[in-house]
Amino acid sequence: MRMLIFYILLFFSIQSPVFAQEKWNLKSCIEQAMSKNLAVSQTEIQAKIAAINYQQSKLAIYPTLNFGTSSAFNTGNNQDPTTFTRVTENYLSAGMQLQSSADIFNFFRKKNTIAANHWELMATVANVNKTKYDIGLSTANAYLQVLLAKKQTEITAVQIQQTQTQLDITRKKVNAGTLPELNTTQLEAQLAMDSSNYISSNGNFTQAILALKLLMYIDPSAPFEIETPSIDSLPIETIADLQPAYVYEQALKNQPLQLGDEYRILAAKKYVAVAKASLYPSLAAFGSLSSNYLSFNKRPYYQKILNGYQSTGLVADAGTGVLYDVQSPIFSNGNVLGYVRPGSLSKQYNDNLRKSIGISINVPLFNGGSAKSNLEKSKLNVGSALLQKEKDDQQLKQDIYQAYTAAITALEKFNASKKAIDASRKTFEFAQKRFEIGALSTFDLISAQNNLLRAQLENTINQFDYVFKMKVLEFYKGAGLKL
């Protein structure tokens, strides 16, 4: 049996890495979980999108400036883009244009849009913090569960040692003939049960480690060791400093969900102002610079020969009441006098340069009711945001009062279990003394020892439960998560 216990302890001891690994404390565990968690990454992406929207709305107050250029090959009967006359020939045309526009007045639409996007950004940042807080709270709970499982494993290991010591003493007495063999058998059975409890506790410890690794996105097969501070030395505020009304008052100021609700209400109110601006006229200025270039084969120009006159179909009054027919000369082309060639690119762009500047007023008269509908919907969004905040505040208050009640219950259970463990320890000590003088049976001794073990395990569970409940209250108060 002694060899069995030796191999059991050896088996679990070799599960630890041979070389010392970096130990994880609560802070490093939470930071790891926050940095690797996919939900946190998703909310951070939303925050980045909100930041881009906010930055873009700030840039929207500046004038726009756009440059464009184009070129085309034209054939057949076309309009000359420089002289605007009809020509029948092949030519290459090109143009460029520089345009700018700026809002002069639009009833603070852009200003309120900037403010709304700012509060939206603040709300998404608060949502990131809420996700991180939730991950942190879950990680802290998993961390405490690892400490609890490890403590339970240590208790069951001590139990094995105690039972083994009693078995050794009893076997000597049996060999000496002062005790019957039944006592040895009973203690051997108890030792086997203690070994089973140890194996179960160690399995729970391994499962707790795996659960913590899962939250931290660490490979389950990777070496892992946490710092194990004494549960008795953990800093805990007094229950008097964590009254639910006071904690709720502080939580309204620091909890990211409540802050996010406040920011969304402010954003919704600004969107109402943006929607109102769509109902009023807006004033804007605009300007542009443009020019064209034309490339064609040389064009001949001819001597003009007068061939006579023809009627235009018009008449003119010379003032005497006599109407005269208006005629136009008829010319024909004579000899080629020369050729017209396109000017250089810079000269044409300079000669054909056109400029424009102006002011535009946009007065909304009828747009299918969209502007008014948007205004009504934005007002409803404010009401929805207010209701959401009220709902979240009520839930927060309920959670805090429930956490306070749970902490009070955990404290009372912890205090009761401490008394129980003191009583069980005294009972076991008396039983052990009576067993040594032969005044108590092995069965009664084992019963007293098991009662002490159960009291120790129950006390450990209650103590960790109490610590976590108090840490939850501290978290709501704004003290953060620390061990």
Render pLDDT for 457-471 as a digit per residue (tens, 0 to 9): 888 888 888 888 888
pLDDT of 12 reads 43
Question: Could you report the per-residue pLDDT of 241-275, keeping only the tens digit for each?
Answer: 889 999 999 999 999 999 999 999 999 999 999 99
pLDDT of amino acid 199: 93
Closest CA to 371 of 283, 275, 268: 275
Asked if residue 113 lies in contact with residue 274, where contact means CB atoms within 8 angstroms, the answer is: yes
The percent of residues in the chain predicted with pLDDT above 70, rounded, is 94
CA–CA dist 75, 91 (Å, integer): 7
Mean per-residue pLDDT, 60-68: 92
Report the mean per-residue pLDDT for the chain. Answer: 85
Average pLDDT estimate for 316-335: 81
Q: Which residues 6+ apart lie within 8 Å of 175 measured at CB?
A: none
State the pLDDT at residue 55: 95
Instruction: Check: CB of residue 284 under 8 Å from CB of residue 380.
Output: no
Q: Which residues fall within 8 angstroms of residue 337, CB to CB, at 6 or more apart? A: 301, 302, 303
Rounded CA-CA distance 67/55 in Å is 23
Which band of pLDDT confidence, cut at 50, 70 and 90, is reported for residue 2?
very low
Best-predicted range by mean pLDDT among 112-116, 337-341, 428-432, 462-466? 112-116
Compute CA 302 distance to the chain's CA centroid, rounded to the nearest angstrom: 78
Global pTM exceeds 0.85: no
- What percentage of the chain carries pLDDT values higher than 90? 35
Tell how far CA 299 is from the center of its chain: 69
What's the pLDDT at 59? Answer: 92
pLDDT of residue 335: 85
CA–centroid distance for 270 within its chain: 23
DSSP line for 350-366: HHT-EEEEEEEEE----
**Is the pLDDT reported for residue 37 higher than 80?**
yes
Predicted pLDDT of residue 432: 84
pLDDT of 82 strictly over 70: no
Lowest-confidence segment of 79-83, 130-134, 322-326 by average pLDDT: 79-83
Per-residue pLDDT band at 18 (split at 50, 70, 90): very low
- Give the separation between CA 207 and CA 226, rounded to whole angstroms: 14
- CATH T-level assignment (fold) for domain 2-36+108-280+369-477: Outer membrane efflux proteins (OEP) (1.20.1600)
pLDDT at 80 over 70: no
- Domain regions of the chain by residue span: 2-36+108-280+369-477, 64-104+282-362
How far is CA 303 from its chain centroid? 81
